[in-house]
Amino acid sequence: MMAVRHTAVFLSDLLWNSANDILAKLIFKIAFATRFQHIPFGATRRPRHSEDLMVAKTPGDPPSRAAEFAECIALIARDGNEAAFDVLFRYFAPRIKSYCLRLGCDASTAEEITQDAMVAIWRNAAQFDRSKASPSTWIFAIARNLSIDRFRKSCRPQFDPDDPALVPDGEVPPDLLIERAHTDQGLRKIMESLSANERSVLLLSFFENLSHSEISRRLDIPIGTVKSRIRLAFGKIRSALDEQDRTSSS
Amino acid sequence: MIKFHVSHDILLGYAAGTLDEASSLLVATHLALCPHCRSRNAAADSLGGYLLESIEAEPVSPVMKDAVLSRIRSAPPAAVAMHPAVPVTSAVIPDPLRSYLGHDLDGLQWKTLAPRVHQVLIPTRDNRAKARLLRFKSGQSVPSHGHNGRELTLVLTGSLCDRDSVMYRGDIAETDERTEHQPFAGPDEDCVCLAVTDAPLRFKGILARALQPFFGI
């Protein structure tokens, strides 16, 4: 699988990553040891301005609660633990609702989709595989798929990992599987390294459901610029993940 | 090995859920054939997860928690998903495309589109773009044409020669308004491909233009 990987890596990202790698690992270890006794999320938010299209996150935010959330999902799958579900509800329900509103749902549809997403998290907890995705990525996929069905009145076909015609990944070393659980950590670093312009096109594309031409009108920049910013931002994200895979397989 | 992958723009649209159903079908079928793009797709999904964490929280109604609790108490967490009763052991066309068609390659009802060119229309719930399976006899070319919108083509069997490239199983060709081309099937075997268009094609020849309304392409 490594053989087919795209190998182009932005040099600046490489330097930036290696400088931050040790620090990020240390933060993760401390956070894990203290079971994420973090500051409440709202306390670090900046006020939202209509023209401020950046993520609300600032570099001083607490580390990801991925390990804690993954544990909660495991507890739900194992014995239907409602206290664990409560942790997920308090964190994710308001964010799923916010996501739906940004897509353009009215308030009651946003509430409905959020409710269904939370029920789906409960019911499908056994399918969550922390070696394949972080909790927030898994939950995002649930919310996205529900919103496509309900709000966008469309379908999103997906591949079947057990299909006989699927071309397999090849041998994936076990330590790589463990590293992939921390994919969101590498991504976090990269998102913080993106320029404001790159981040704004990514957010508009993802959360406001705007096409390239709509983004181009909204930001008053040529469509070619929109495309190239998305390409650049996405290239950086992918390079970071490729780099992570190479590091863990070497 | 696959040489022509799904573009960043389209993969990002697929991850965000903004891509139309027909194009998503093509992307998902490509993902079944391309481990490299599955890894890119996982990265795009992680981006969605990250953005969900970063987004500003919006208070939910105070009664939602109770509504959810009463629903989950009446339904325990499901076991891991069940597999179909009769597992498919081999197939030429990967899922999800095979499910959309209802058959693998040998069970399809082909309709003649032009001499030596056949098609199967693939119904989709949203009609922002059209999906069709096309089969070209080896060596057969499509009349030269341009596009009013975007065309995505995924090769499933044989090979397709387009401009200066030869594409094989799993490869994707992406064209837009600026492209005029005359793709043709390679010499060895019939070429079957999935084609997705978000606007009718613009044929150059008078005959092809005259026949276009009858074939709906």
The DSSP-derived string for B33-88 is H-HHHHHHHHHHHHHHHHHHHHSPP-PPPTTHHHHHHHHHHTSPPP-SPPPPSS--
Residue A212 is encoded by which pair of tokens? 């390239």
Amino acid at B146: G
- With CB atoms and an 8 Å threshold, state whether B60 touches A141: no
**A245 touches B: beta carbon within 8 Å:** yes
The reply to whether A38 falls in a domain is no
Distance between CA atoms of residues B117 and B95, nearest Å: 24
Q: Which of A38, A91, A95, A153 to mutate: most B Cβ within 10 Å?
A: A95
Kindly report the nearest CA distance between residue B194 and chain A, in angstroms. 14
Q: Does residue A15 register a pLDDT over 70? A: no
Question: In this structure, which long-range contacts are made by residues B79-84, counting pairs with CB atoms below 8 Å and at least 24 apart in sequence?
Answer: B79/A126, B80/A126, B80/A127, B81/A127, B83/A162
**B170 touches A: beta carbon within 8 Å:** yes
**A224 touches B: beta carbon within 8 Å:** no
**B210 touches A: beta carbon within 8 Å:** no
Residue B17 is encoded by which pair of tokens? 């859920």
Distance between CA atoms of residues A230 and B170, nearest Å: 24
The pLDDT value given to residue A130? 87
- With CB atoms and an 8 Å threshold, state whether A133 touches B49: yes
| CA dihedral sign, ordered A43, A103, A116, A134 | negative
Helix, strand, coil percentages for chain A (3-state, nearest 5) = 65, 0, 35
Locate the domains of chain B by residue range: 1-217
Distance between CA atoms of residues B42 and A131, nearest Å: 12
The pLDDT value given to residue B4? 92
pLDDT in tens, A106-136: 999 999 999 999 999 999 999 999 888 889 9
The pLDDT value given to residue A110? 96
Chain B stretch 9-28, residues whose beta carbon is closer than 8 A to a beta carbon of chain A:
9, 11-21, 24-25, 28
Q: Does residue A162 register a pLDDT over 60? A: yes
The pLDDT value given to residue A126? 94
Sheet with B184-185, strands from edge to edge, namely: B165-167, B160-162, B184-185
The reply to whether A212 falls in a domain is yes
The reply to whether A53 falls in a domain is no
Residue ranges making up the domain that contains A115:
2-22+64-156+175-249
User: What letter does residue B1 receive in the DSSP assignment?
Assistant: -
**B55 touches A: beta carbon within 8 Å:** yes
- With CB atoms and an 8 Å threshold, state whether A159 touches B71: no
Among A89, A95, A87, CA closest to A36: A87
Distance between CA atoms of residues B123 and A149, nearest Å: 16
Beta pairing class for B117-122 and B111-114 = antiparallel
Among A140, A130, A70, A76, CA closest to B68: A76
pLDDT in tens, A186-218: 677 777 778 878 877 777 777 776 778 888 888
Residue A187 is encoded by which pair of tokens? 């991504």
Go through chain B and tell me how many residues it has.
217
pLDDT in tens, B138-196: 888 877 777 778 889 999 999 999 888 899 999 999 988 777 778 889 888 899 999 99
Are the beta carbons of A77 and B77 closer than 8 angstroms?
Answer: yes
Are the beta carbons of B148 and B200 closer than 8 angstroms?
Answer: yes
Q: How many CA atoms does the CB half-sphere of A211 hold within 13 Å?
A: 4
Give me the number of domains chain A comprises.
1
The reply to whether A125 falls in a domain is yes
The reply to whether A136 falls in a domain is yes
Q: Which of A38, A58, A136, A137 to mutate: most B Cβ within 10 Å?
A: A137
**A57 touches B: beta carbon within 8 Å:** yes
Q: Which residue has the higher pLDDT, A23 or B53?
A: B53
Closest chain A residue to the Cα of B42, Cα to Cα = A133
- With CB atoms and an 8 Å threshold, state whether A206 touches B51: yes
Give me the CATH topology for the region B1-217.
Jelly Rolls (2.60.120)
Distance between CA atoms of residues A188 and A14, nearest Å: 15
| Segment B49-75 mean pLDDT | 90
Distance between CA atoms of residues B170 and B121, nearest Å: 20
pLDDT, mean over chain A: 72
Q: Does residue B109 register a pLDDT over 70? A: yes
